[in-house]
Amino acid sequence: MNQLQITAFGDPSVLRLANVPDGEPAEGQVRVRIHYAGVNPIDAKTRAGLGWAAAQNKDKLPWTPGYDVAGIVEARGPGVCELAVGDRVCGMVGFPLSAGGYGESVVVGETELVKLERLDLAQGAALPLAGLTGWQGLFEHGELLAGQRVLILAAAGGVGHLAVQWACDAGAEVVALASPANHDFVLGLGAKAVLDYHAPDWPAQVGAVDLVLDLVGGESGKQALACVKPGGRLITVPTLTAEAIKAAGAERGIEVRGMLVHPDKPALARMVALLEQGGARIEIAHTFPLAEGALAHQAIEVGHTRGKLLLRMDGHA
């Protein structure tokens, strides 16, 4: 099977196609024939040698990026009880170390996968990491409740456009930040108001909120502290600037928490059900053939994707 590998950290050109044997599933594992893989900013950061996953993998290259996959179960190891050959599945796999989604097959534990009934495989590959990040940021770390007001930064992006919908579905009032070209898109997801983050006075325009979901970090995360009500909280998602924003929050007496998304099969199953029932939708900005993975990384690194980017394996339209 073909997969994209890196043998050294660097710019997107280090992503190279390699032909390797399919893996054999061991106890509790299945082999999935991947149709689509999701592209996330962490894939590009790790490829460039940044962050925790790069530090852990530096002596274990080659490494194949990709945590989000959707495809068909084609082989089962011993002890697999929930999944059958032929099942359509998606999941966040090998997080955060082994990854391996940018390829035509992957061997993973069945506990990492959720069965898809009606959701198409492209949507299934776009959902897991971004959907779980939004879900866990809002509900596990943010403890968001119905009737509360939440500010979501980068609301048109991969995590943001799903988080807007999860928060609206939970009965919260969503105020969002996006550039003007994305305002109608974000309002269409259910946000009550959308503001342009280029306006210097955006924190004053937002007013007071119970929770901020900061998907930008850096100076934007610090500026958003001005919107947090007494007793409220800011969840900062980009890990590289989390400590600086926590320190800025501590100076102002505002609770700031960082987070790292984690696999959560029940939450993923709930999000799949919501999508299958039409209660939410995923925007797919562009789908690249596997061989053009470097172009997908260039695109995610620009930082202005609306929704999600995907890789498509050969033979799957």
Residues lying near ligand NAP in the complex (CB under 6 A) are found at 40-42, 129-130, 133, 153-154, 156-160, 177-179, 182, 197, 215-216, 220, 237-239, 259-261, 300, 303-306
User: What separation in angstroms does the CA of 155 have from each of 1, 74, 77, 170, 188?
Assistant: 36, 37, 41, 17, 12
Contact 28/279 with Cβ under 8 angstroms? no
Contact 308/284 with Cβ under 8 angstroms? yes
Q: What are phi and psi of 288, to 5 degrees?
A: -105, 145
Contacts of 49 (CB under 8 A, 6+ apart): 9, 10, 58
Smaller CB separation from ligand NAP, 3 or 133: 133
Smaller CB separation from ligand NAP, 92 or 313: 92
Contact 184/243 with Cβ under 8 angstroms? no
Return the closest-CA partner of residue 167 out of 213, 217, 110. Answer: 213
Smaller CB separation from ligand NAP, 91 or 157: 157
Nearest distance, CB of residue 218 and ligand NAP, angstroms? 8
Smaller CB separation from ligand NAP, 79 or 303: 303
Smaller CB separation from ligand NAP, 32 or 152: 152
Contact 43/25 with Cβ under 8 angstroms? no
Q: How many degrees, rounded to 5, is the angle at CA 82 between CA 77 and CA 88?
A: 90
Smaller CB separation from ligand NAP, 6 or 42: 42
Smaller CB separation from ligand NAP, 119 or 299: 299
Smaller CB separation from ligand NAP, 75 or 226: 226
The strand ranges marked E within the chain are 2-5, 16-19, 29-39, 68-76, 88-92, 105-109, 113-115, 149-152, 173-177, 193-195, 209-214, 228-236, 255-258, 284-289, 308-312
Burial of 191 (0-12, 13-18, 19+ CB in 10 A): buried
Nearest distance, CB of residue 165 and ligand NAP, angstroms? 13
Tokens 């890196």 belong to 6
Residue 289: CB atoms within 10 A of its CB come to 12
> Helices 265-276 & 128-135, crossing angle to 10 degrees?
100
Smaller CB separation from ligand NAP, 130 or 280: 130
Output the residue with the shortest Cβ distance to ligand NAP.
157
Nearest distance, CB of residue 55 and ligand NAP, angstroms? 15
Nearest distance, CB of residue 70 and ligand NAP, angstroms? 17
Nearest distance, CB of residue 27 and ligand NAP, angstroms? 29
Nearest distance, CB of residue 71 and ligand NAP, angstroms? 21
Nearest distance, CB of residue 260 and ligand NAP, angstroms? 4
Nearest distance, CB of residue 200 and ligand NAP, angstroms? 12
Residue 205: CB atoms within 10 A of its CB come to 13
Beta-strand pair 255-258/284-289: unpaired
Nearest distance, CB of residue 216 and ligand NAP, angstroms? 4
